[in-house]
Amino acid sequence: MSVNTLNDPVASLGSFLRDRRSRVRPDAGAPGRRRTPGLRREEVAARACISVAWYTWLEQGRGGPPSAEVLERLARALELDAAGREMLFLLAGQRPPLSGPVVAPPVTPALQRVLDSLGTSPAIVKTPTWDIVAWNAAAAATLVDYAALPVQERNILRSLFGNDDRRGRLPDWEENARWALGVFRIDTARAGESSDAAALTAELLASSADFRRLWAENDVRNHGVGTKRIRHPRIGTITLEYSAFSVEGAGGLSMIVFTPTSQADVQAVEALVADWRSAGPETSGGR
């Protein structure tokens, strides 16, 4: 689902509508030759029972805020899934211009204790721009030892698209990266576009061909649940199931928990944590 054009790191309702329209298969028997894929503007307008002129204004950013009823009709006309529908409503909310840097609230001791209680389940807390601000020992041992990194490098997107060693540890890198970008888009829309999100997107568009390629797919996803495989040089491949949870009252922070899928995976994480603890001082925690 669309959010932006390739070179525009800021979401807009018009670009979303244009791109999503291009992805819908025309009705069987629709008249006329087509130079471009997808629906014409008049076809979307007819499906949504609105005027062609007003729909054109919406794509051009001139239509004013549509009502919830119109948005529901547009969602059906464009055949949006749940994530796309939410994105449509978010983008139609007429958010103010980009705000300055978003400062996430500090991680509370209670939240850190929750992380630390998840002994063999790597767990992290991230901001809407995917900066990691807290983690447990299992995450440090199995995923990345975040305490050993400079603060600016504790970002999942920078890690996915700028670190060949970490990329080599992900057998399913392509799908992992595609999922992360889809969730990043909707995370930042929920939180309100910020200069931090725009700057990170622009940085990665400039530095990574893979980021440019996947960003151009304009995918939107909810966190949901899924599977992540990690290839460790000593242990071999570990399979983890991930689930995401919002941290209530914490300014857009969310926690992702990775649960080993088998007893062998549990034992692998236990071995990695034991090795990590024996190698140095306790470094789980956040900023």
Flag whether pLDDT at 9 surpasses 60: no
The per-residue pLDDT for 61 is 81
Rounded to 10 degrees, the C-alpha dihedral 77/78/79/84 comes to -130
Q: Give the pLDDT score at 66.
A: 85
Q: Dump pLDDT digits (tens) for 174-231.
A: 999 999 999 898 887 777 667 788 889 999 999 999 999 999 888 888 777 889 999 9
Model confidence band, residue 54 (pLDDT cutoffs 50, 70, 90) = confident
Closest CA to 11 of 251, 215, 245, 203: 215
113-122 average pLDDT score? 95
| Res 246: pLDDT | 84
Q: Is the pLDDT of residue 281 over 90?
A: no
Higher pLDDT, 2 or 176: 176
| 70-74, 81-85, 119-123, 239-243: the lowest-pLDDT one | 81-85
Which residues 6+ apart lie within 8 Å of 117 measured at CB? none
pLDDT at 13: 84
> Which pTM value belongs to this model?
0.70
pLDDT at 7: 47
Produce one character per residue of 242-252: b if its CB has 16 or more CB atoms within 10 Å, e if not: bebeebeebeb
- Comparing 246 with 190, the larger pLDDT belongs to 246
- The CA distances from residue 270 to 119, 137, 163, 257, in Å, are 8, 10, 26, 16
Q: Which carries the bigger pLDDT value, residue 260 or residue 91? A: 260
Q: Which domains does the chain have, with CATH numbers?
A: 13-91 (1.10.260.40), 109-279 (3.30.450.180)
Burial of 62 (0-12, 13-18, 19+ CB in 10 A): exposed
- Closest to 178 in 3D by CA, of 202, 160, 203, 197: 160
Tell me what pLDDT residue 3 has: 41
Between the alpha carbon of residue 145 and those of residues 106, 256, 277, the distances in Å are 20, 16, 11
Q: Both tokens of residue 139?
A: 């995450």
Q: In what order do the strands lie in the sheet with 254-260?
A: 132-135, 123-126, 254-260, 236-246, 225-232
Express each pLDDT in 137-188 by its tens digit.
Answer: 999 999 989 988 888 889 999 999 998 888 889 999 999 999 999 989 888 7
The mean pLDDT of 64-87, rounded to a whole number, is 84
Which string of b and e fits 186-222 if b means at least 16 CB within 10 Å?
bbbbebbbbebbbebbebbbeebeebeebbeebbbbe
End-to-end CA separation in angstroms for the chain: 34
64, pLDDT greater than 90: no
Identify the band that residue 247 occupies on the pLDDT scale cut at 50, 70 and 90: confident
| Rounded CA Rg of the chain | 21
Among the ranges given (52-61, 118-127, 154-163), the one the predictor scored with the smallest mean pLDDT: 52-61
